[in-house]
Structure 1
Amino acid sequence: MTDTELIKKTAAELAGLIHGREVSAAEVTRAHLDRIAEVDEHVHAFLHVDTEGALAAADRVDEDIAKGTPASPLAGVPLALKDVLTTKGIPTTCGSRTLEGWLPPYDATVTRKLREAGLVVLGKTNMDEFAMGSSTENSAFGVTHNPWDHARIPGGSGGGSSASIAAFEAALAIGTDTGGSIRQPGAVTGTVGVKPTYGGVSRYGLVAFSSSLDQAGPCARTVLDAALLHEVIAGHDPLDSTSIDAPVPPVVAAARQGLNGDLKGVRVGVVKEFGGDGYQPGVLRSFEAAVEQLRALGAEVVEVSCPHFTYALPAYYLIAPSECSSNLARFDAMRYGLRVADDGTRSAEEVMALTREKGFGAEVKRRVILGTYALSSGYYDAYYGSAQKVRTLITRDFDNAFEKVDVLVSPTTPTTAFKIGERVDDPMAMYLSDICSIPSNLAGNAAMSVPSGLSDEDGLPVGLQIMAPALADDRLYRVGAAYEVARDAAAGGSLIQQVPELGRKA
């Protein structure tokens, strides 16, 4: 089997080949490392490639398989890891000069679980600095390009993870989602991205942006692949005080059930508030076609109103910056990370201020300033406190909706991938990229983006968002897998296989 054939296999297919000893984990890993060497100068999905560590991990998998003791069903499958999760002895930068070259002394729980399951971590992927952005243009180490069109963004903050999958540099990836940073990149790169229920996947070792919103989750090219990865990383962790001590939802079984293409008895709610002005017509047409496909699969489709979703964006941009202001205070030049201007003539406060000025980019500074203001004396109740009240109302909207339907659906993002540089000077336009995804983060429930085809306007990928109640993540996978089968049948093949070989270069 050629390297080109190997890198275009799904994770489930690769695992079958590796465990069946038709190909070695080392061969699969080398094929993906060669792909990275070939195309990443164009895509720039990776910040660090751990060639030696990946090959050593693959060799261990081959030894286990020879003994008949593979660590998990995904053992040997290559994976890309967002550079916001700590990796012992491998740089973790969060896309920031503040942490450039930092080598963590420990693995995040997600990292540890991946290693224990035998997945081969190829390296760390590019991201908006400290996960603040919707385009991966805010990375201190350069922009990532969308494999579908190198002149366009791959989404953010986890654009490196989604781009690595779309470019066939990795079979799987891990992202983190604070306001849509797994789902929005998934939508604009034609890949699957899942935000698990908040607390369903450990946040220990995830460098915090907004602690009540951040959630790690799987990125993949198929719904089944995402489910297999979800099962590996999920579960209770005593090291994370927000971790839910409950069984992992049966996500793999649900995905396999969905592959039969039957959604009879499933109630699907179309969110009334997501549509109209600001939405690209091609995105809305793709969404309407996806809803019709769900109906054809036997689902009952009804319109549902969630009136407080219209306040989600302003509430989020008070809560998230406030929490980031607190979390990023640890980068003070006193303990670890960047330290500048320490020539013996300046006070600790001066060194701290100069270091933060040098180390943080414009978007991080903007959010820290906004959050500090919102938390300041005299303004806390008016801003942060009010935003938390809106958050409660949004949660109630979800609760009311899920009394009537099993899942909610909407476009994942209002537009297809925009051009690099197009929104850099317009923060509000950038923030609107996440208008559909933010409510699920505020409520803490589960959500998924699954590709819904290509826009008839520009030929770029569009995403269908599916939302489910907390701890009902399995519903996402059943509906997502059924829709995926119907979509590919209607299109005459897999969407992701249509990505240009090296994209339309900028």
Structure 2
Amino acid sequence: MTHLNELTIAAARDALRAGKTTAVDLTMACLTAMDAGDGLNAFVHKTPDIALDMARAADARIKAGDAPDMCGIPLGIKDLFCTKGVASQAASNILAGFKPEYESTVTSQLFNAGAVMLGKLNMDEFAMGSSNETSCYGNAINPWKVDGRDLTPGGSSGGSASAVAADLCLAATGTDTGGSIRQPAAFTGIVGIKPTYGRVSRWGVVAFASSLDQAGPMTKTVRDAAIMLGAMSGFDPKDSTSAELAVPDFEAALTGDIRGQKIGIPREYRMDGMPAEIEALWADGTAMLKGAGAEIVDISLPHTKYALPAYYVIAPAEASSNLARYDGVRYGHRATLAAGDGITEMYEKTRAEGFGPEVQRRVMIGTYVLSAGFYDAYYNRARKVRALIKRDFDHVFAAGVDAILTPATPSAAFGLGEMADVDPIKMYLNDVFTVTVNLAGLPGIAVPVGVDAQGLPLGLQLIGKPWDEAGLLNHAYVLEQAAGFVAKPQKWW
């Protein structure tokens, strides 16, 4: 018998409806696993009392026959989502003690659907990072190990990925600005989808780069991603970038039939020095989709090589603007001032104490590229490159391509601390396959497909047409079924 915390959302939903278990029992199993998983440092604010109250309410709804798909499902919530009355720090010291008086739209929708909050999850500070090493809570740790080394779960949604992979919760929320759902999903052997920009409300999610940020689910299977994405999606008048579009039944779209669909393989993603294992995995994934009846076509996305530099101009620029509000005046950390210090000193000391080194680096880069002498040379030019990257995708989809298959990451998970002292650019290269999707506002999904020679999970990425999460999920479902990935980390925590 599977332990309750190891169930998928779909299996738990069916068991709850059939009366084989209760939301309280499911939640208790996850709370026990969560406490036993402290060694992973995935959960940073636990809310067991809230969880059990929500579970009891979910059981009442199920008994009354008024139960949406997510009713009674225990989730972890990334610390970037504001949760009413519960610490929401964005993993930053500058927001120490901040407990919002409001609920983010995403968590409101999940809780209205009956989902249960187990607690808040670790992440990179303000979602800036690819390894979960910039958090004020310390590193989140990947449940997969090699030679006794602690590995990164990826970032910035590292706590979410670690918790789902280790079965501390049934699923978790994540956010993706340049790959922060898809890269950690690939590093931990789970599924992560970044929806089309505007599909999921950003209201109440602490902002990093407003034109790039998008929330999405991190789950154990593609079916679970479809179920949870349906509950998270929808128009929100509080978010000016939210799209007023109907939300399809994503789960119903999982037909497993992709015969005659065109899958594009972009030649520009064949990077110099790509590990042979990633190349082989990509070839295997291509063969799996071809075997399912898809037509494989070579495509060109010529401006791909400019994506990383454009992203690392645009994202820090927007971050420097968004993070200007953290100044010690209204909420969060305020530095202790010396006699004679004025408001300028308060700003300077508060921000120096509250922001970690990576956030400081990106704020300085962003302020520089937005400054009067460099605005056109950097920020405006990056915006023009972004438009060209989007146009590349538009041309490919207009030519009849239904989805694009690429690697999700340039490697398997690396050791914590291995990149800490090297050039930060090396860390930024982890996003090489994912940032184009954010720059173009497209949906993308990471699916676990195999393991490397050390036994670590490797994922592939599928990129879909705008607003076609339903089609994208179906392609991912076919890939998942063909790959048959069932590997789990050995429990050491």
Structure-1-length-normalised TM-score: 0.95
| AA matched with 2:370 | L
| AA matched with 1:93 | Q
Of 137, 140, 145, which residue of structure 2 is paired with 1:141? 137
Partner in structure 2 of residue 115 of structure 1: 111
SS at match of 1:480: helix
Partner in structure 2 of residue 300 of structure 1: 295
Partner in structure 2 of residue 39 of structure 1: 37
- After superposition, residues 319-358 of structure 1 pair within 5 angstroms as 319-358=314-353
Q: Does the Cα contact within 8 Å between 1:249 and 1:471 map onto a contact in 2?
A: no
Partner in structure 2 of residue 190 of structure 1: 189
Quote the Cα distance in structure 1 between the aligned partners of 2:258 and 2:201: 31
Say yes or no: does 1:411 pair with 2:407.
yes
Partner in structure 2 of residue 491 of structure 1: none
Quote the Cα distance in structure 1 between the aligned partners of 2:138 and 2:273: 29
Quote the Cα distance in structure 2 between the aligned partners of 1:339 and 1:163: 32
**1:444-502 deviations in Å (ceiling 9; x for gaps):** 011100111111x22111111000111111121110011111111xxxxx424x32123
Aligned residues: 488
Partner in structure 1 of residue 466 of structure 2: 470
- After superposition, residues 373-384 of structure 1 pair within 5 angstroms as 373-384=368-379
Shift of 1:378: 1.3
**1:85-132 deviations in Å (ceiling 9; x for gaps):** 100000001010001221001000001001100001111100000000
Q: Does the Cα contact within 8 Å between 1:453 and 1:495 map onto a contact in 2?
A: no
Shift of 1:278: 3.5
Of 85, 90, 93, which residue of structure 2 is paired with 1:94? 90
Shift of 1:327: 0.3
Q: Does the Cα contact within 8 Å between 1:287 and 1:452 map onto a contact in 2?
A: no
Q: 1:278 to 1:127 in 2, by over 3 A?
A: farther
Partner in structure 2 of residue 495 of structure 1: 486
Quote the Cα distance in structure 1 between the aligned partners of 2:249 and 2:374: 44
Shift of 1:345: 2.8
Quote the Cα distance in structure 2 between the aligned partners of 1:283 and 1:138: 27
The range that moved more, 240-249 or 181-190, is 240-249
Partner in structure 1 of residue 172 of structure 2: 173
Shift of 1:220: 0.3
Shift of 1:233: 0.5
Quote the Cα distance in structure 2 between the aligned partners of 1:7 and 1:334: 42
Quote the Cα distance in structure 1 between the aligned partners of 2:471 and 2:434: 17
Shift of 1:344: 4.9
Of 438, 443, 447, which residue of structure 1 is paired with 2:444? 447
Of 17, 21, 24, which residue of structure 2 is paired with 1:23? 21
Say yes or no: does 1:290 pair with 2:288.
no
**1:41-86 deviations in Å (ceiling 9; x for gaps):** x21111111000001000001111222222x112001111110010
Q: Does the Cα contact within 8 Å between 2:77 and 2:160 map onto a contact in 1?
A: yes
SS at match of 1:90: coil
- Identical columns (%): 45
Quote the Cα distance in structure 2 between the aligned partners of 1:464 and 1:475: 16
| AA matched with 2:342 | S
Q: Does the Cα contact within 8 Å between 1:319 and 1:388 map onto a contact in 2?
A: yes
Partner in structure 2 of residue 246 of structure 1: 245
Quote the Cα distance in structure 2 between the aligned partners of 1:328 and 1:305: 37
SS at match of 1:216: strand
Of 57, 61, 77, which residue of structure 2 is paired with 1:81? 77
Partner in structure 1 of residue 430 of structure 2: 433
**1:150-184 deviations in Å (ceiling 9; x for gaps):** 61100000000011000000111100000000000
Partner in structure 2 of residue 62 of structure 1: 59
Quote the Cα distance in structure 1 between the aligned partners of 2:292 and 2:193: 22
Quote the Cα distance in structure 2 between the aligned partners of 1:370 and 1:411: 29
Quote the Cα distance in structure 1 between the aligned partners of 2:128 and 2:75: 23
Shift of 1:416: 0.6
SS at match of 1:476: helix
Q: Does the Cα contact within 8 Å between 1:194 and 1:217 map onto a contact in 2?
A: yes
Of 264, 276, 297, which residue of structure 2 is paired with 1:269? 264
The range that moved more, 59-68 or 405-414, is 59-68
Cα RMSD, aligned residues only: 1.1
| AA matched with 1:73 | D
Q: Does the Cα contact within 8 Å between 1:161 and 1:219 map onto a contact in 2?
A: yes
Quote the Cα distance in structure 1 between the aligned partners of 2:166 and 2:117: 17
| AA matched with 1:5 | H
Quote the Cα distance in structure 2 between the aligned partners of 1:234 and 1:87: 18
Shift of 1:249: 3.6
Quote the Cα distance in structure 1 between the aligned partners of 2:225 and 2:396: 26
Structure-2-length-normalised TM-score: 0.97
Quote the Cα distance in structure 2 between the aligned partners of 1:115 and 1:342: 41
| AA matched with 2:44 | L
| AA matched with 2:286 | V
Q: Does the Cα contact within 8 Å between 1:39 and 1:502 map onto a contact in 2?
A: no
Q: Does the Cα contact within 8 Å between 1:448 and 1:466 map onto a contact in 2?
A: yes
Shift of 1:343: 4.8
Quote the Cα distance in structure 2 between the aligned partners of 1:219 and 1:33: 19
| AA matched with 1:458 | Q
Shift of 1:359: 0.5
Partner in structure 2 of residue 14 of structure 1: 12
Q: Does the Cα contact within 8 Å between 2:70 and 2:110 map onto a contact in 1?
A: no
Say yes or no: does 1:129 pair with 2:120.
no
Structure 1 segments unaligned to the other structure (5+ residues): 489-493
Shift of 1:385: 0.1
